[in-house]
Structure 1
Amino acid sequence: MTTTFRNAVFQVHWFLGITAGVVLALVGVTGGMLSFEDEILEALNPGVMTVEPAGRAALSPSALMERVAAARPGEAIASLELSADPSDAAMVGFAPRDGGRRGERRHVDPYSGAILPEPRYQEFFRTTMRLHRWLAVDDVGKQIVGASTVILIFFCVSGLYLRWPRRWGSLRTWLALDWKQKGRNFLWHLHSVVGTWMLVAYLVMSLTGLWWSYGWYRDAVNAWAESGAPTRAEIVPTADRGTPPALDIDAAWQAFAATAPAWSTASFNLPKDDGALSFRYLDADPAHERARNTLSLDRWTLAPVAHERYDDGSLRQKIGGSMFPLHRGSFFGTTGVVVFMLASLLMPVFAVTGWMLYLDRRRRKRTVATTAGALAALPAAPPAPAEKPILIAHASQTGTAEQLALQTAATLRDSGCAVEVKTLGALKPAELDGRRLLLVASTFGEGEAPDSARAFLRQLQDRPPRLARLRYGLLALGDRGYRDSYCGFGRELDQRLHHAGAQPLFDRVEVDDNDPAALRHWQHHLGQLSGNTDAPDWRAPDYRRWRLVERRLLNLGSAGGPAFHLALQPEDAADLQWQAGDVAEIGPRHSAARVDAWLAEARLDPGEMVTLGDVREALADVLARSHLPPAAPGTPAQAVADALRPLPHREYSIASLPADGSLQLLVRRMARPDGQPGIGSGWLTDGAHIGESIDLRIRSNPRFHPPADDRPLMLVGNGTGLAGLRALLKARIAAGHSRNWLVFGERNAAHDGFHADELMAWQRDGHLQRLDRVFSRDQPQRRYVQHVLGESAEKVRHWIEAGGAVYVCGSLEGMAPAVDAVLADIVGRDALEALAAEGRYRRDVY
């Protein structure tokens, strides 16, 4: 119910945003332009709205009015406004002509009585005001602006509801604007954070703006304000005193000044009947430009009969009588005007970012629909006899996760796997046991689940089922700009599933802002899962050129596949930079002999030039890095090139540091089902010659970077997993951190002691406090790294309690789950999950 309601609020929010947003942007900009209208006009009109006293004596009010009347014969003067500032012009109001509602108002020199010219640029601000209040189209525009103002109130409330973060008590979460955000995340971040900054201003502006849109609203506000007013004493009229004396304007002003000695501006409306004389004035330091006081004088005696002061009113009266200052922000002083002006000028930000987010969402939905169509067009692959289809579930807020889930499904189906794609919200955790599940989970807001996945997560939290037979892989989407909440939902989902007993197919893959390298790593796992490691990359790496400078067999006579130490150097020395734990993506090639054989069978010239995109290359070079199709003699070279599919990348843990002067790998030559060497390992260990160019790209792997401090570090691995552990040890030794413990397993000590001399030297020199090398086949009963950990349980517990970290690198099948189970037995499953959440238990397994 909550998710459905939230989705409904979101849909209404964005629909109104792309409709009323443009109107609100125009109203906001025009309102911002009007914020300092008086000050701007005054600055642009010297000698009109202000005058130069130059030692002159100001005319008395009556003399001033007489001179104005002489200059405008036949026109009745209705009001006079004077300022206590000697440099301000006076203002004279004339009676309306021909039954009009308002008469003309003109600035007058208070020292000479001369009527001053009309202020320049006044019409510009009048037009701006008409646009602001009714879009310059009278009643229709007034209704549109009124409706948009109501919508702005909805935006404030719904926007607050939609972005309400899990850590709602953190001011930084609410108000910090992170300029490191990118793409769609930055747009959403800008939209929501700036909206939060200005939330109060927008609510005040909208609630007061309705005053000019709807009479019923104005009446309601007035009734509310008057209900809080103190009871006033009724003024009892005196007996009829006959015809009032002639109006003495100067005497009336003197009486006013005697009662209200400290005023900044005062306005006197000439009476139309025998009523009291009324003055409206502002104090010398008024709360705002509408904080007016009213003083009524007896017509006969000029004695005060009523004095209503703004400062004496109740809060309700002040609010009810201050709609314009509240709307403009001047109710809160000059700072309020500036804040409200900025809020108004920022209104287009929401229209622009809202539209950009909407268009991006439309684009993503089109992409998802296209991908879904392509998936539907693929021939259905029958499931394996004893296995259900691989279930692919996505939790998406904007469509990205859904798109990647469909791409995942297409890749697996193309590899012959049966798949089923569903929204995570449509699943129940208890139904997943016994399945293979691939999850694509985006993180929304500050580490929260997308709306569609909240119910699923709640079920995992409230009623966690036992999922011991569930095997899952997780692709977590996030943005590192959110720091603490990066991939927050994906991480929580991973932890909840693991806590329920589910077993990972591979370690969680985290994607920073759609990072193509992380997505290639996900596709690498898909290849391992499907058994088809030849599927083309969704997006090929941007390779750099490196040279193979060393290749050395490490396990001569081994019962396992041959393992080699390789060293590569970049053509550009600037590429010699990475961190321990990072991964090398290799672009494999076919050997020259295999390419030549194919060309001979196809009867094509290896040097013939073909065009790929904007690049001209020899056909042999293109074939070397592509899947080789069946040779068809007579096919033109360009047609062959156009039909080629590039070979996918291969990933290898880096075994060295940049300070070593080369990028070093530990690669075991793998065999394909037909007995041929693996594409990547075969190229590196046999096909490529020393000195030959290698396509390589370094992928940052921050989840396996070493600890920054000198805490105890336990390193556990087997086989070629030693590569990543070797780089970590090198980094620790270079940093002077010696509390290191390596547990490494292979087959036979006589043949598989990879880098044995180096490891022994590190132990001898005190860089390795403990070294356990275990060889599974050197005794009748098989013995592996997990056995060493179990036998050293007390020591393991001591290292962890001392703040130590555990890093595991190597085989996902067999070694990694067994090590995980032993560690859970030693410290407890909850404690092990806590270690993982703290970053003290990390794995790089494959």
Structure 2
Amino acid sequence: MIDWQTVFYALFAVTAWLLFTWQCLRAYRLAQPSEGDGRGDVLVAYASQSGRALGIAQRLATSLPDGARLLPLNRLDLDSLQSARQLYCIAATYGEGEAPDNAARFLSQFAQAELPDLSSLRYQVLALGDREYPHFCAYGHQLDAALAEAGAECAVNCAEIDCGTEQMAQAVDQWLGAIVGEAVTAEGAHSYGEFLPWTLQSRRCVNEGSPGAPMYALRLSPPATQAVDWQAGAIAEIRLPGSAMRAREYSIASLPQSESVELLVRLQYDEHGQAGMASGYLCEQMALGEYVELKLRANPLFATPEGDTPLILIGAGSGLAGLWGHLEARRQSGYRQNWLVYGERSPACDRPYAEQIAELERDAYLPGLDLCFSRAEQNAAYVQEVLRQRALALQDWVSRGAVIMVCGSRDGMAGGVDAALREVLGTAGVEQLENDGRYRRDVY
């Protein structure tokens, strides 16, 4: 005799899983940069690290009457420039006045004994930056100068936008409207909304006794009447109450199914031993039940890979937050080809998410797992050293189509990891991964 109740629940579970998978796939595809349907004589190029410049470029490319080809600057060669009539560049400045990852090689094409002839090209540059940091909009101006020196005609002087101000959105809208000739809507997956009051639900230190600075897991909930959504890889922008300080950005470790945003925040200290304004408030001063203004922002350049693509996640310290959402998303989708390489200081104290990691490994969602500790009494190592030791496995995963995702300190861990990847895979191999969107970084 058929147990119809069992059949019903089985069908319900399968339907729910298929619906969830479809929603994840649709969100992933909406977030991905598309080259558009332009003829190729109008180019919209972006230099974007955390998705802001990409979002603006997507809005422009889809709003131009005849369409445009949308692509990162690294994929824009001199032949394409010489055959185009119009180029729009949206360029963020990263690090110490440098180009973002997807634009780091573009200007090397201009470092030749004989400059290219771009006299038939008109161009316009929008430079994004933050005035709190030195070298404000430096890369945008480098780009503008290189194009002008090659003979390209500047349609409008390089525009600067300070991303740390509340007026940023209005300034972007004005810049886009001046090009298109009408208001440009903010549709798309690159933005999730405005600042809202999020309440601190819980806070716990995840590395008590560590030789390093304390690190806290914070969980914040949105207003009860507000429906919120985000994808793994998204960023939380936080503004402190009563402070003129600009918003600070944190990688999100949770998915919306948890109905809260979880962050990993390292308590920072200045040269006088004083806690940093943002980390000090979030980790020590803010009381449970209090709120901060928080805005969710998508980062499509750090999205979870589509389907059951092999995934290598590399991080250290609080960078685990930027990787954890991807592991959660992969588990919910039933995708098991995951390899986590994570580094911290002490094996006794520095083990955030230890129980969850053990559970993923037990359930075969982490066939690759390498935890390393720089202060261990035996076999001390950094993540970049692990990658060199595991060179054959790394080459094998990449040969099978793996995507590499890195999250953590730019000047410390991320730089060392990049050097190790180039040693193991070759510089040309790493650059090909970048071009294919298979080397993604959320570094700070």
Alignment TM-score > 0.5, same fold: yes
Q: 1:453 to 1:803 in 2, by over 3 A?
A: farther
* Separation (CA, whole Å) in 1 of partners of 2:350 and 2:67: 57
Alignment of 1:277-426 (within 5 A): 400-401=125-126, 404=127, 411=131
1:549 aligns with 2:201: yes
What residue ranges of structure 2 are gaps of 5+ in the alignment? 1-34, 43-55, 69-95, 100-106, 111-120, 153-157, 173-192
> In the TM superposition, what is the alpha-carbon distance from 1:575 to its structure 2 partner?
4.0
Listed one character per residue, the Cα deviations across residues 762-812 of structure 1 (whole Å, up to 9, x for unaligned) are: 001111111111011003675101111111101000000001110000111
Q: 2:239 aligns with which of 587, 593, 614?
A: 587
**Percent of pairs with identical residues:** 35
Matched to 1:819, the amino acid is V
* Separation (CA, whole Å) in 2 of partners of 1:517 and 1:791: 50
> In the TM superposition, what is the alpha-carbon distance from 1:452 to its structure 2 partner?
2.0
Listed one character per residue, the Cα deviations across residues 127-155 of structure 1 (whole Å, up to 9, x for unaligned) are: xxxxxxxxxxxxxxxxxxxxxxxxxxxxx
Alignment of 1:555-634 (within 5 A): 555-589=207-241, 624-625=242-243
Paired position in structure 1 for 2:410: 812
Q: 1:439 aligns with which of 139, 142, 165?
A: 139
TM-score by length of structure 1 reads: 0.34
Matched to 2:202, the amino acid is E
* Separation (CA, whole Å) in 2 of partners of 1:690 and 1:652: 19
Paired position in structure 1 for 2:148: 452
* Separation (CA, whole Å) in 2 of partners of 1:767 and 1:192: 42
* Separation (CA, whole Å) in 2 of partners of 1:734 and 1:453: 52
Greater RCO (Cα-Cα under 8 Å, separation 6 or more)? 2
Matched to 1:439, the amino acid is Y
Listed one character per residue, the Cα deviations across residues 537-593 of structure 1 (whole Å, up to 9, x for unaligned) are: xxxx9411111101111111111111111111100454431110011001124xxxx
Q: 1:706 to 1:817 in 2, by over 3 A?
A: same
Alignment of 1:42-61 (within 5 A): none
Q: 1:557 to 1:657 in 2, by over 3 A?
A: same
Answer yes or no: is the 8 Å Cα contact 1:725–1:809 preserved in 2. Answer: yes
1:678 aligns with 2:237: no
Matched to 2:350, the amino acid is D
Cα RMSD, aligned residues only = 4.1
Residue-pair matches, total: 321
* Separation (CA, whole Å) in 2 of partners of 1:183 and 1:556: 46
> In the TM superposition, what is the alpha-carbon distance from 1:693 to its structure 2 partner?
1.4
* Separation (CA, whole Å) in 1 of partners of 2:57 and 2:303: 23
> In the TM superposition, what is the alpha-carbon distance from 1:683 to its structure 2 partner?
1.3
* Separation (CA, whole Å) in 1 of partners of 2:275 and 2:57: 44
Q: Which has the larger radius of gyration?
A: 1
* Separation (CA, whole Å) in 2 of partners of 1:649 and 1:580: 20
Listed one character per residue, the Cα deviations across residues 63-100 of structure 1 (whole Å, up to 9, x for unaligned) are: xxxxxxxxxxxxxxxxxxxxxxxxxxxxxxxxxxxxxx
Paired position in structure 2 for 1:828: 426
Paired position in structure 1 for 2:350: 752
Q: 1:547 to 1:826 in 2, by over 3 A?
A: same
Answer yes or no: is the 8 Å Cα contact 2:210–2:346 preserved in 1. Answer: yes
Paired position in structure 2 for 1:698: 296
Q: 1:826 to 1:662 in 2, by over 3 A?
A: same
The SS at the match of 1:190 is: coil
Listed one character per residue, the Cα deviations across residues 653-697 of structure 1 (whole Å, up to 9, x for unaligned) are: 000000112110111111123332211111111111111111100
* Separation (CA, whole Å) in 1 of partners of 2:375 and 2:253: 25
1:190 aligns with 2:65: yes
Matched to 1:662, the amino acid is S
The SS at the match of 1:439 is: helix
Answer yes or no: is the 8 Å Cα contact 1:547–1:694 preserved in 2. Answer: yes
Answer yes or no: is the 8 Å Cα contact 2:336–2:365 preserved in 1. Answer: yes
Paired position in structure 1 for 2:316: 718
Matched to 1:452, the amino acid is A
> In the TM superposition, what is the alpha-carbon distance from 1:709 to its structure 2 partner?
1.4
Answer yes or no: is the 8 Å Cα contact 1:585–1:696 preserved in 2. Answer: yes
Alignment of 1:21-60 (within 5 A): none
Q: 1:573 to 1:752 in 2, by over 3 A?
A: farther
Answer yes or no: is the 8 Å Cα contact 2:253–2:325 preserved in 1. Answer: yes
Listed one character per residue, the Cα deviations across residues 622-672 of structure 1 (whole Å, up to 9, x for unaligned) are: xx22xxxxxxxxxxxxxxxxxxxx211111100000011211011111112
Answer yes or no: is the 8 Å Cα contact 2:38–2:67 preserved in 1. Answer: no
The SS at the match of 1:586 is: strand
In terms of fraction of residues, the more strand-rich structure is 2
TM-score by length of structure 2 reads: 0.63
Answer yes or no: is the 8 Å Cα contact 1:717–1:785 preserved in 2. Answer: yes
* Separation (CA, whole Å) in 1 of partners of 2:239 and 2:337: 37
The SS at the match of 1:737 is: coil
The SS at the match of 2:197 is: strand
Alignment of 1:8-407 (within 5 A): 172-173=39-40, 189-190=64-65, 400-401=125-126, 404=127
Q: 1:799 to 1:518 in 2, by over 3 A?
A: farther
Alignment of 1:1-12 (within 5 A): none
* Separation (CA, whole Å) in 1 of partners of 2:431 and 2:339: 21
Q: 1:673 to 1:730 in 2, by over 3 A?
A: same
* Separation (CA, whole Å) in 2 of partners of 1:568 and 1:685: 13
Answer yes or no: is the 8 Å Cα contact 1:397–1:450 preserved in 2. Answer: no
Matched to 2:148, the amino acid is S
Q: 1:515 to 1:835 in 2, by over 3 A?
A: farther
* Separation (CA, whole Å) in 1 of partners of 2:399 and 2:98: 39
Paired position in structure 2 for 1:214: none
Answer yes or no: is the 8 Å Cα contact 1:545–1:571 preserved in 2. Answer: yes
Q: 1:443 to 1:192 in 2, by over 3 A?
A: farther
The SS at the match of 1:823 is: helix
Answer yes or no: is the 8 Å Cα contact 1:578–1:698 preserved in 2. Answer: yes
Paired position in structure 2 for 1:689: 287
Q: 1:516 to 1:443 in 2, by over 3 A?
A: farther
* Separation (CA, whole Å) in 1 of partners of 2:239 and 2:377: 40
The SS at the match of 2:430 is: helix
Q: 1:840 to 1:453 in 2, by over 3 A?
A: farther
Matched to 2:215, the amino acid is A
1:783 aligns with 2:381: yes
What residue ranges of structure 1 are gaps of 5+ in the alignment? 1-166, 194-388, 422-436, 457-475, 478-509, 520-540, 590-623, 626-645
Alignment of 1:763-778 (within 5 A): 763-778=361-376
> In the TM superposition, what is the alpha-carbon distance from 1:190 to its structure 2 partner?
2.7
Answer yes or no: is the 8 Å Cα contact 1:567–1:662 preserved in 2. Answer: yes
Paired position in structure 2 for 1:608: none
* Separation (CA, whole Å) in 2 of partners of 1:518 and 1:723: 31
Matched to 2:268, the amino acid is M
Matched to 2:248, the amino acid is R
Q: 1:185 to 1:569 in 2, by over 3 A?
A: same
Listed one character per residue, the Cα deviations across residues 269-295 of structure 1 (whole Å, up to 9, x for unaligned) are: xxxxxxxxxxxxxxxxxxxxxxxxxxx
Answer yes or no: is the 8 Å Cα contact 2:316–2:407 preserved in 1. Answer: yes
The SS at the match of 1:803 is: coil
1:653 aligns with 2:349: no
Answer yes or no: is the 8 Å Cα contact 2:373–2:381 preserved in 1. Answer: yes
* Separation (CA, whole Å) in 1 of partners of 2:38 and 2:292: 50
Answer yes or no: is the 8 Å Cα contact 2:267–2:280 preserved in 1. Answer: yes
Paired position in structure 2 for 1:53: none
